[in-house]
Amino acid sequence: MPPGGVAVCGRCGAVLYRNNPGNAERTLALTLAAALLFAISNAFPIVGIESQGNRNASTLFGAVLSLWNDRMMLVAGLVFITTMLIPALELGVMIFLLATPRPRPAVLRLVLAIRPWAMLEVFMLGVLVSVQKLSHLATIVPGVALWSFGALMLLFAALTATFNVNDLWRAMPPAPAHVDR
């Protein structure tokens, strides 16, 4: 298919494939921006709560530790895995995959396998519901991490839209020929 070409369904007209030159570079730029936002999201407080002159703010890892210390190990583990570990792993593997000239099939399979486990959208929904429920009890101050998590969600959506698995499969080295003896 020529650069810029589009394959459409002859029956319904839906776009089946779009050949976008420079797509890997665009995806790499989005991934690097997402990695920066992910670092900011984990370094700064998500929300602060002010009540009766006391102010308390926590980072995401601080919230995980608090859940762990309150004997909610399963919830703490799920929050850590789905909002910190898997997104960090996905971003790191994506950067490696897009920055290497000849990506490896196992690395691409890893990205495709872990992608459904990144639950930033679910986390953000939970945070927003919690903020709404707590707003009548205390003053809620959104932190830098809350805003960067929101932007990170948008970047992950853009990554999903621009990530073209077919281009990466074509860039893979050919499999070695199998010789029967």
What does the pLDDT look like over 90-104, one tens digit per residue?
Answer: 999 999 988 887 778
Give residue 48's domain range.
20-171
pLDDT of residue 118: 80
Residue 12 lies in a domain: no
8 Å CB contact between 20 and 164: yes
pLDDT of residue 88: 94
What is the count of structural domains for the chain?
1
Which residue ranges of the chain lie beneath pLDDT 50?
none
pLDDT of residue 180: 62
Q: How far apart are CA 106 and CA 49, in angstroms?
A: 44
Residue 178 lies in a domain: no
Residue 3 lies in a domain: no
Q: How far apart are CA 124 and CA 132, in angstroms?
A: 12
pLDDT of residue 28: 92
pLDDT of residue 105: 83
pLDDT of residue 175: 65
pLDDT of residue 166: 73
Q: Which CATH number do you get for residue 71? A: 1.20.140
Between the alpha carbon of residue 44 and those of residues 22, 50, 66, 75, 144, the distances in Å are 34, 17, 16, 21, 6
Residue 12 CB neighbours (<10 A) = 6
pLDDT of residue 101: 76
Secondary structure element (H or E) that encloses residue 49, with its range: strand 47-51
Between the alpha carbon of residue 136 and those of residues 35, 78, 132, the distances in Å are 34, 28, 8
Which tokens sit at 65?
């530790």
Residue 142 lies in a domain: yes
